[in-house]
Amino acid sequence: MAEHESLEFGKADFVLLDNVSLEEFMANLKLRFEKGRIYTYIGEVVVSVNPYRAMNIYGRDTIEQYKGRELYERPPHLFAIADAAYKAMKRRNKDTCIVISGESGAGKTEASKYIMQYIAAITNPSQRAEVERVKNMLLKSNCVLEAFGNAKTNRNDNSSRFGKYMDINFDFKGDPIGGHINNYLLEKSRVIFQQEGERSFHSFYQLVKGAPDAQLRSLHIQRDPTAYTYIKVGGQIKSSINDSADLKAVTDAMKVIGFTTEEIQTVYKILATILHLGNLKFGSDGDVTLIENSKLVSILGDLLSTKDENVEKALLYRTVATGRDVIDKQHTHQEASYGRDALAKAIYERLFCWIVGRINDIIEVKNYDVRVHGKNTVIGVLDIYGFEIFQNNSFEQFCINYCNEKLQQLFIQLVLKQEQEEYQREGIPWKHIDYFNNQIIVDLVEQQHKGIFAVLDEACMNVGKVTDEMFLQALNGKLAKHAHYTSRKLSPTDKNLEFDRDFLHSLYSVVGFIDKNKDTLFQDFKRLLYNSSNPVLKAMWPEGKLSITEVTKRPLTAATLFKNSMISLVENLASKEPYYVRCIKPNEVKSPLLFEHERCKHQVEYLGLLENVRVRRAGFANRQIYPRFLQRYKMISEFTWPNHDLPSDKEAVKRLLQGCGFEHDVAYGKTKVFIRTPRTIFSLEEQRAEMVKRIVLFLQKVWRGTLARMHYRRMRAALIIIRAYRRYKVKSYIREVNRRFRNVRGMKDHGKHVKWPTPPKVLRKFEEALRNIYNRWWAWTLIKDLSPEQLVQIRAKVATLECLKGQRADLGLQRAWEGNYLVSKKDSPGTASSFTLISSDLQRKDKFMRVLFSCNVRKINRFNKAEDRALLITDRHLYKMDPVKQYKPMKSIPLYNVTGVSISPGKDQLVVFHTKDNRDLIVCLQGMVPAGDSRIGELVGTLLSHFKSEKRKLQVNIVSPIHCSMNGRKCTVVVETKINQSQPDFTKSRSGYILSVPGN
């Protein structure tokens, strides 16, 4: 089934083994472990081997590879089983659960974390804030529960010392909306005692090593674990655990979940109380029991928010009711020590249960109405303590191992026994497979009146002093003939068992069974804590409000409570569709390289994995009743869609599977169809998904067609109305334009004052064209009677306006342009005749047609000196003349050699003529009458108009400073204003020239 892995990594599914034998199973398991493949399938069961190292196979990329995939499409992984459980829950609206089992240290807690991480990662695609909050709280709850419920043991640095089952609730969209946590049998004896090399719960070390100094001072705690009797029993242990960092993570997680600051403070006060209780020492003065270090009493009173004298009295006395009388009975030294230890264990257990309850209060689904929100489905994740066998196994190990036997019995019942019984019931040919049914072991422990728990409870109820040895004698009397029970008395030759201490084959010591089962805590302590002024502490001890004289029912024993919770758990799991993760511990030394064959073989045998392979090989992977199968897959076949007319649902299913070519892989029972390989189911699912798409597309097509036709009819009606309205608006506009402009020919301004009507949107471009036509007509009426000379001047002014508008202030458009100013007596009185004579000679010589422009100028010569000159521009040449020498021509520049003109954006009269040979002419117009007149606009417009008439281009630049070439050398001309300057003049600068012009 599991594909995409080569055979060098062994078989990815044990079902694919050539021969089903323990030797081949172990060889395949070892090969995959050594190749770094820690997950292997048995059908839909994941076998996980603890790698004892960090592996890069849980990141976002890996999650994406398994999201929405079927089991066989990717190599074996926890994410695959998590996705299968999620899909089953979402597709079939069915509650599912993932049962994680195995020895202590096999990796169960880590597996549950990765499963939670995967479910959180694949849900809530729409990123709803409330769902993100719920997911965050569910993930953070792990961190808090590990701190208070996990401890370092000799086998595991992070061993769960309690059982945990979490239900995650999902809405109809498949997004998590809450959850609920059940906890089972916290190993509270670890609070007061640990075996050599082990630690108490993480929370104590996190407080002592990680809390700020100020907090430790307020709790009267030293930063030294060896200073506290309860947590130094196992020795000073070095490990990979970072208690300081873990404390911050736990505190942050509690805040995220919703614990208040006062609640968190109370939690650490309780931890400090337990540490101080362990250091409390009792002494004797004759018959009177005393507290030797009485200073601790006031510290306990402060931490528990109660009076010091009440604390001391509860520790040294016991209030007893004899009829109507109430007396205080003095504790012996032994009773006081027992009471102190019982109080420490009880406080921690209540604290842990309160934390679980507080988390549940916050994460449980609230205000969920099935009628409004749809069915609320569940995925359960069971992470429960692993099977434990130590040198000295006490009551806790007995309960833990009973729990594992109970879960194994559920596995056998669901996977092996029910499977075989169902085949027989449905009439499917089947070869029976032998397997060990551990129901007999479960019955040995929990059977009414005869089981070990029943004998233990009976011993605890006897009046008078009952010892553990008496309990063992009772076991020997009732279970002597049981095949799976033994003791040294029943097997005198078995030296592994000690007289009056050990029983069963796993060496359980009866020492402490009676006390731990009674779980006695003096009522005085309950009243003391109930009367605390701390509301959180008070809420943990509700039974403390009972009066000492009030008669109550005998409380259930620890064994009975645990047995009932296990029966309830198994019933809960049995009501869901189970998925299994079977964890295996490869070695005792936590090595990532060592595979201990005998240890792993024992676990494989105990977990019944080989029998699981045989059943899977012989059986059918999936079965469904005929109506449900048809309901899901009937769209695949033409004979069953949408309904069939065959004699029965069974015949319809046969016809459907024959049409798909799967008849060789199925068997037909009385009420169910059995499908051998998951590949067939996956193929059916793929075909169904494809057909559902087509059905949905067909329905969408029909509906969209209906919508489109309705939309078309509405649009067509709207279009008819729009067209009629548009025609009306167009006609109205044209009539209005015609009315307003009817008599413009006879108007003085030819209709320039007439306001245009606002056009409809459709005629905006038409209006622009109409205005252009009108403007051209209006312009034509203005110029049609002008002389040729006036037209030339008009064209020049238009050219100036197009080129310089908005870039220079005074363009001289309001006055008449004379052009040839040197023939005017205003500009050159007394010398106009000389200029006229010279210009006539030049006309005869150079054959020019007309003078474009002439003016007196100030220029820069080739020696960088400023001098007065006259400028004459004709339609063929540009002449420089000397006004002092009767306008003698100095030099001429052919007009075709001029490439451009540069002027500044100011009010100055600077002009630079650019030539092809880079010998630019720099001049400043002068001698104007009146003096403030500007002729730059006239000069530029005249040149532009002339060049345009000759179909040549003249480049006009309006810049400051002006860049030019003087005698082949690059330079710049800058205009500066000077207050005391009378006339414009040029001066030399480092980069070129400066034209100084008069200021205001």
Q: Is 156 a catalytic residue?
A: yes
All residues at 6 or more sequence positions from 976 whose CB lies less than 8 Å from its CB, including other chains: 994, 995, 996, 997
- On whether 506 is known to bind a ligand per the annotation, the reply is no
Q: How far, CA to CA in Å, does 728 sit from each of 358, 434, 554?
A: 75, 95, 98
The pLDDT score that the predictor gives to residue 144 is 93
The pLDDT score that the predictor gives to residue 485 is 77
List, in sequence order, every residue forming a beta bridge with 912; answer none if it has no partner.
902, 922
All residues at 6 or more sequence positions from 289 whose CB lies less than 8 Å from its CB, including other chains: 282, 283, 316, 330, 331, 332, 333, 336
Q: Which of 748, 798, 744 is nearest to 774 (CA)?
A: 744
- On whether 107 is known to bind a ligand per the annotation, the reply is yes
The pLDDT score that the predictor gives to residue 504 is 67
List, in sequence order, every residue forming a beta bridge with 923; answer none if it has no partner.
859, 911
Any alpha helices (H) in 378-435, and if so which ranges? 395-411, 418-426
Give the span between the Cα atoms of 249 and 143, in whole angstroms.
8
Annotated catalytic residue, options 50, 124, 150, 159:
159
Q: Which of 787, 768, 812 is nearest to 939 (CA)?
A: 812
Q: Is 109 a catalytic residue?
A: yes
Annotated catalytic residue, options 43, 105, 210, 234:
105
Find the distance separating the first CA and the last CA of the chain, reported in whole Å.
Answer: 99
Annotated catalytic residue, options 160, 640, 856, 902:
160
Does the CA dihedral 460-463-469-474 come out positive or negative?
negative
- On whether 105 is known to bind a ligand per the annotation, the reply is yes
φ, ψ (nearest 5 deg) of residue 666:
-135, 160
Q: Look-up: residue for tokens 């006239």? A: 938
Whats the size of the chain, residue-wise? 1000
DSSP H or E segment with residue 563:
helix 558-574
The pLDDT score that the predictor gives to residue 2 is 45
Annotated catalytic residue, options 28, 112, 150, 156:
156
Which regions in the chain score pLDDT beneath 70? 1-6, 233-239, 322-324, 368-375, 385-391, 415-420, 430-437, 463-464, 488, 493-506, 519, 547-553, 618-622, 645, 678, 1000
Give the span between the Cα atoms of 94 and 33, in whole angstroms.
34
The pLDDT score that the predictor gives to residue 871 is 93
Q: How far, CA to CA in Å, does 661 sit from each of 243, 642, 674, 680, 692?
A: 61, 20, 15, 10, 20
Q: Is 746 a catalytic residue?
A: no
List, in sequence order, every residue forming a beta bridge with 869; answer none if it has no partner.
857
The pLDDT score that the predictor gives to residue 557 is 81
Please, what's the b/e burial string for 2-39 (b: 16 or more CB within 10 A of its CB; e: otherwise)? Answer: beebeeebbbbbbbebeebeeebbbebbbbbbeeebbb
Q: Is 960 a catalytic residue?
A: no
Please, what's the b/e burial string for 922-935 (b: 16 or more CB within 10 A of its CB; e: otherwise)? Answer: bbbbbbbeeeeebb
| Token digits of residue 114 | 């990765």
DSSP notation for 879-896: EEEEGGGTTEEEEEEEGG
Annotated catalytic residue, options 44, 70, 349, 388:
388
What letter does residue 636 receive in the DSSP assignment?
G
- With H, G, I as helix, E, B as strand and everything else as coil, classify residue 186: coil
What letter does residue 417 receive in the DSSP assignment?
I
8 Å CB contact between 127 and 135:
no
- On whether 640 is known to bind a ligand per the annotation, the reply is no
Give the span between the Cα atoms of 184 and 569, in whole angstroms.
10
The model carries a pTM of 0.64
| Token digits of residue 877 | 């040449």
Give the span between the Cα atoms of 936 and 871, in whole angstroms.
13
| Token digits of residue 840 | 């006539």
- On whether 36 is known to bind a ligand per the annotation, the reply is no
Q: Is 104 a catalytic residue?
A: yes
Percent of the chain as helix, strand, coil, to the nearest 5: 50, 15, 35
Annotated catalytic residue, options 104, 150, 377, 622:
104
Annotated catalytic residue, options 386, 608, 751, 927:
386
Whether residue 642 has a cis bond before it, omega within 30° of 0: yes
The pLDDT score that the predictor gives to residue 374 is 60
- On whether 661 is known to bind a ligand per the annotation, the reply is no
Give the span between the Cα atoms of 691 and 988, in whole angstroms.
91
Any alpha helices (H) in 784-893, and if so which ranges? 788-804, 832-846
Q: Which of 358, 105, 115 is nearest to 253 (CA)?
A: 358
